[in-house]
Structure formats: structure tokens, C-alpha cells
Chains A and B, each alone.
Chain A
């Protein structure tokens, strides 16, 4: 995907002023949160299940090379070809090679965020093939000139039904529909034709099962099921971190994945694909490929933020993030928005271009409190911030300010004098209302809101006064 992370501040500002987007975001706000809260109550011991999920994911990461090799052997034993891709470009090359080898003309694609990393659809089209996104949300975005997804599980979350209706009328050449039911029916009819004529099915993988060499997929629409049943070739594209040892452990993760994502006890379809079709089987892929993608994941594994690789892509962190909920997913400027995106994006595309992302958080901790695999997201965001300071990536003003602060804070007498002066000046600035409307060097804060003025004395002054008073009584 085109990288736009460096424009984060400008984009976030625009999105905040975008009335239609704000209306759409407000409409969906809290829906996922409420459903999740209800769904986790069905588990007798949600916290113990989270502990189990965390250790399942961590066990794999601690010996990732071993689990990848086991997966590869077992997948191969069932006739699946396992390919490896170091970079996003290599992913696209593999897919185009496969298409050329089997003479394929039309790809039908179930949702895959990993394929967004390499803009696979564009590569397929550039090679003269057709590609159709079959997840309804992804389809809406595809026919809108490949608008980027704004959420990892609800990619068209930012669009209203009126926008979808106008888009369908324009692209399909049909009369505009008013109801959501009718819009879905129209998409169903268009996509059905593609399902029946596609010869390449492309999916991601929610999990790779090491013990059986299987690809584990969840959808509500059934589109992954169709994409892996009808075409003669199936290609699953996924990150190297997605391995899970056994089917039982995938079951534990699934209980948390669907509840954390949409608040469902299970998705309508769960498909476990193991190898190529057997003798006498009418449906199913004759050729199955799994592309194991690195594209920065091994770098994450070697870094201070390696716990981010436990992620099962449920989206709960963004659903609960006050920043994401207000600026929407597009502001972040790459494939993965929200807290998890702000942790992994700098590792995938570079600290320099994504420097704003780890700072786009109040570190309120909502994300960590809902993460089903207990990724300490605020802690990891803080690690990125430290790295930015170490690499001198922070703006000059901030660096100078911090240096000045260090100098001052390590001189207690001077610090006491300066802060006493500071709070008094600020109290005076606050005036009768006790609120500061504009403050030099802090316009980023005061442009949007007032700064409450301090009461006029520093903590150390008040503390000293109290101790004196205590001694007198």
C-alpha cells in the first residue's frame, strides 16, 4: 500500500473536520465495544482464557523457526506448496508466477491484510488479470478506486449506506437502493457471477496449524469458503508469525478472536483447509499454495516490541482506542491502524516515515486492557518513543526542550526557583477565569482547548508549608 504515515498530523486534522466521516464514526462508535463486553461474559473464565491464549502465541514465537518448519513439512505432506517471501514484492511475484504456471485469468479474493501490504490487487491487474474482492466491505472499497481499508475487520466502517448506494448505482449502472438489505443483495448477485468464473482463490490465514499443515480461516459471509471451494487453485498469503501448534489451541484462540472482534461466540463460517482435493472430490483446489511472508516480521521478533507478534488481528485495540475512534483508520496512513498499527508500522516501513504514529496515543491503556493475547501496547508505544529519542528523530524544538529540562531538573535549587516563578506567571496568565487561552510553545494544546491555570504554588511549596504547620501543632 502507498505509504502516507508521514502526513499523519495533517490527515488526522482533516478527518476531525470531515463532518460526514465524524457522523459515520459516531454512528458506529461503541457498537463493537458493547457486543464484545456481552460476549466475553459467555466464557466462564475470560481472564484464564486470555492467559492461555497469550502463552499459546508466545510458545510459537519463542521457537518460531521450529514451528515454521513443522508447518511446512506437514503442509507439504498433503500436497500443499509452501513458498517464502522476504518482501512485499516477492509476495506479488509468487502470485503472478502461480497464475502464469496454471494459466489463470481471474482471481477471487477473500479479505487479506497481508496482501494489502504489497498492493497485490494492483500487481495482478498490471499483469493483465482480473481480481475481485469478495468480502463486501473490501468489494465496496475496490470499486471505489481502491480506497484503502480503515479497519482491519470492518474495512468500510467509515462509509454510510448512502455513500455505498451512490457508489453501487454508479459502478453497477443500477437504480440507487435505499436499504442495506437491498445493497447486500445487489452485491451478492454481482459477486456470485465472479465466484462461478474465478479460477484462482486468494485468501489470508487467521492461523496456520503446525500439526496438520492446515490453513484456518474465519468469515461471516462465507466468502473464504467459496474462494477455497470453487477455484482450481488456492493461494493463502500470511505472515510467518501466524503458526499455532495444534487444532485445540486454535480453538482456544478462536473463542477470543471472534468475541474480541465482533462480539460473536463464533463466526458463521470456519474453514480448515488441508492440502489438495482428493480422488473423486468434485470441489476443492487442485493446487494449494501457502506463501509465508516476512516483510519485517523477523525484524519485529528481534526488537523490543516483539510481543506485538502475538497479535491475532481482532481489532479490539482500535475499537477501544479514543484516538482511533475520533480520527478513523485512514489517518494512520498504512495497512494497520490503531494501537497495534502504531506499534508494527514503524517496524515494517521504517521509524523515520512513521514517527508520528507511536506518539498518537494518550497511553490511556484501554487497548492493553482488552487485548486477548495481552500485548502491552502502551508499553510498546513507549519503547518506540524511546527509540525515536535515541535515533534523534524528534523535532529540534522538542529535543532542545528536553535538554533544557534535563539541565534544569538536575539542579534542585534552580528548579525550585524556576517552577515557583512559572506557576505564578501561569496563574497570572489564567486571570479571573483560571484558564489560559493561548500559551507560546504550547499552541498545539491551546489551539484546541484552554489550559487550566495552576493554583499559584508548586507542590514542593505546599508540602513544605504543611510540614511546617504540622510541627507547630
Chain B
């Protein structure tokens, strides 16, 4: 046990007027955490999907609504053509089964190491209140694919849109049991206002976030 730890805890306890760890405070803390108390939240409409889309657009993401999963490669090709960039991307393994060749897209299924201009990723869930994408890191979900490319294309199922951040955490607890190494929440393209408080997109991460939304 480090002495810095002991000294700091001793000083904190002295400030709180106690000499040792307080077992009552400890059990009260456990009860408090187990209850996961939720604070005041802004009211949300019935239609979470509409609210999500509205907020995503405000954050300068762009969206495209697809009928089926099979449409993803064509939608990616369409978007890249519109941008005027090569139909080349790095993508997550969950998209390996799709017919990319037919859409004329060269999709490399591998984690990006910085040279790919476009990254295609899935999304764990999305938050209507803020228009946010929630991505959980994992062996099949390399994080840098949504960060390093200039363009990030994210595929989201409308059924995975929840109301608030609190609901996203509840979903992670229910489905995963514990937190993954990284929960990355993305709300539009990377930006900075560090020079004269003028907002510029594409600070370090993507200049563009394009959402493909499945029913």
C-alpha cells in the first residue's frame, strides 16, 4: 500500500471528521449505486427517430434512410460519388457478408491504421436527446475506424435509438453486463473553436459523419 494513498485518505478523513473508513457510508454508497438514480431530463417526443434525425442534422451529420441491410454498399457508393472521392474504405467485420464488389466499392475488412480515407462502422445504439452515436469498442469493433478517416460512415438501426444517455447506459448493462474498454459517443464531425471561437470542422477526427439508417 503506497504511503501517498494512506496520507491522502487520512487527510480526507480528518477533513470529514473521521479516523477510519466508515462502514455505514460504504453500505449507503452501495445502495445508492445500485439504485442508479436518474436526474431531471428534458421531455422527449414519442417519435425518437424523428428527434434523433433532427439533432443529428443540427450537429452537421448527414443521413440516408435505407430499406434493407443489402442496400448499404450501394448507399456507400452513392455517397462517395457525391463527395467525389474514390470508392475505397476500411470497414468493420460485420459488413463482410455484403456484396461490395457489385456496388463497385473496395471495402477492406480490417482496422484502419491511418491511411484509409473512409471508415465504415456499426453503431451500438443512438441517443435521440442529442443526436449522438454510441460505439462500444471490441475485437470486432476497432475504434480508430471511426476516428482516423476523413469520412466516417456509420450504420444504425432505427430500433436502436434510445431517448437519453441514461437509457444507453441501462442498455449496456442489460446486454453486456459490464462496460466495454471504451464507450465512444460521437455527435457529428470533429470540431474546434480554439481560434477566435470560430467553429471549424475536422479538427483531428472526421470532417464528415454520414449516417445510413436501417428500419
Residues of A bordering B, CB below 8 Å:
24, 27-28, 31-32, 42-45, 48-49, 52-53, 56, 59, 62-70, 78, 83-86, 90, 134-137, 140, 154-157, 159-161, 164, 180-181, 183-185, 188, 191-192, 195-196, 210-212, 214, 220-223, 225-226, 228-230, 240, 245-249, 251-252, 254-255, 262, 265-284, 292, 294, 298-299, 301-302, 306
Hey, which chain A residues are within 8 Å of B113, CB to CB? Answer: 196
Query: Can you name 25 A-B residue pairings with CB atoms under 8 Å?
Result: A65-B9, A84-B2, A90-B4, A137-B194, A157-B197, A184-B192, A195-B204, A212-B179, A221-B204, A223-B204, A228-B182, A247-B36, A252-B38, A252-B39, A265-B130, A269-B185, A270-B132, A270-B184, A273-B181, A277-B137, A279-B139, A281-B142, A282-B111, A282-B142, A298-B12
Contacts known (A268-B59, A269-B186, A283-B137); A135 close to B8, Cβ less than 8 A: no
Q: Which residue of B lies closest to A279 (CB)?
A: B139
Hey, which chain A residues are within 8 Å of B55, CB to CB? Answer: 265
Q: Could you say which of B5, B33, B138, B185 contacts A211, with CB atoms under 8 Å apart?
A: B33
Residues of B bordering A, CB below 8 Å:
2, 4-5, 7-9, 11-16, 18, 21-22, 25-26, 28-29, 32-33, 36-43, 55, 59, 111, 113-114, 129-130, 132, 137-139, 142-144, 147-148, 164-166, 169, 178-198, 200, 202-205
Residue contact B16 to A226, C-beta cutoff 8 Å? no
Residue contact B192 to A226, C-beta cutoff 8 Å? no
Contacts known (A65-B13, A245-B29, A269-B185); A49 close to B197, Cβ less than 8 A: no
A314–B33 CA distance with the chains assembled, in angstroms: 25
Hey, which chain A residues are within 8 Å of B196, CB to CB? Answer: 24, 27-28, 160-161, 180
A136–B190 CA distance with the chains assembled, in angstroms: 12
Q: Could you say which of B29, B38, B192 contacts A67, with CB atoms under 8 Å apart?
A: B29
Majority secondary structure, B binding face: loop
Hey, which chain A residues are within 8 Å of B40, CB to CB? Answer: 43-45, 48-49, 52, 252
Q: Which residue of B lies closest to A64 (CB)?
A: B12
A65–B11 CA distance with the chains assembled, in angstroms: 9
Hey, which chain B residues are within 8 Å of A301, CB to CB? Answer: 11-12, 15-16
A70–B25 CA distance with the chains assembled, in angstroms: 11
A-B pair count, CB < 8 Å, reads: 264
A263–B169 CA distance with the chains assembled, in angstroms: 24
Hey, which chain B residues are within 8 Å of A67, CB to CB? Answer: 29
A214–B197 CA distance with the chains assembled, in angstroms: 31
Q: Could you say which of B12, B147, B165 contacts A222, with CB atoms under 8 Å apart?
A: B147
Q: Could you say which of A66, A195, A252, A271 contacts B183, with CB atoms under 8 Å apart?
A: A271
Q: Which residue of A lies closest to B186 (CB)?
A: A269
Residue contact A240 to B137, C-beta cutoff 8 Å? no
Residue contact B33 to A245, C-beta cutoff 8 Å? yes
Residue contact B21 to A65, C-beta cutoff 8 Å? yes
Residue contact B8 to A240, C-beta cutoff 8 Å? yes
Residue contact B202 to A192, C-beta cutoff 8 Å? no
Hey, which chain B residues are within 8 Å of A52, CB to CB? Answer: 39-40
**Could you tell me the distance in whole angstroms from the C-beta of A303 to the nearest C-beta in chain B?**
8
**Could you tell me the distance in whole angstroms from the C-beta of A219 to the nearest C-beta in chain B?**
9
Residue contact B194 to A269, C-beta cutoff 8 Å? no
Hey, which chain B residues are within 8 Å of A276, CB to CB? Answer: 181
17 further A-B pairs in the complex, CB-CB below 8 A; given A83-B2, A184-B203, A220-B203: A31-B197, A65-B13, A85-B4, A136-B192, A156-B195, A161-B198, A184-B202, A221-B205, A222-B190, A226-B148, A229-B182, A247-B36, A265-B130, A266-B132, A268-B59, A270-B187, A302-B11
**Could you tell me the distance in whole angstroms from the C-beta of A427 to the nearest C-beta in chain B?**
48
**Could you tell me the distance in whole angstroms from the C-beta of A62 to the nearest C-beta in chain B?**
7
Residue contact A156 to B9, C-beta cutoff 8 Å? no
**Could you tell me the distance in whole angstroms from the C-beta of A352 to the nearest C-beta in chain B?**
21
Query: Which 3 pairs of residues, A with B, have the shortest CB-CB distance?
Result: A280-B139, A222-B205, A252-B39
**Could you tell me the distance in whole angstroms from the C-beta of A325 to the nearest C-beta in chain B?**
14
A269–B194 CA distance with the chains assembled, in angstroms: 16
Residue contact A271 to B184, C-beta cutoff 8 Å? yes
**Could you tell me the distance in whole angstroms from the C-beta of B45 to the nearest C-beta in chain A?**
13
A68–B4 CA distance with the chains assembled, in angstroms: 14
Q: Which residue of B lies closest to A163 (CB)?
A: B195
A269–B142 CA distance with the chains assembled, in angstroms: 17
Contacts known (A68-B12, A269-B186); A43 close to B144, Cβ less than 8 A: no
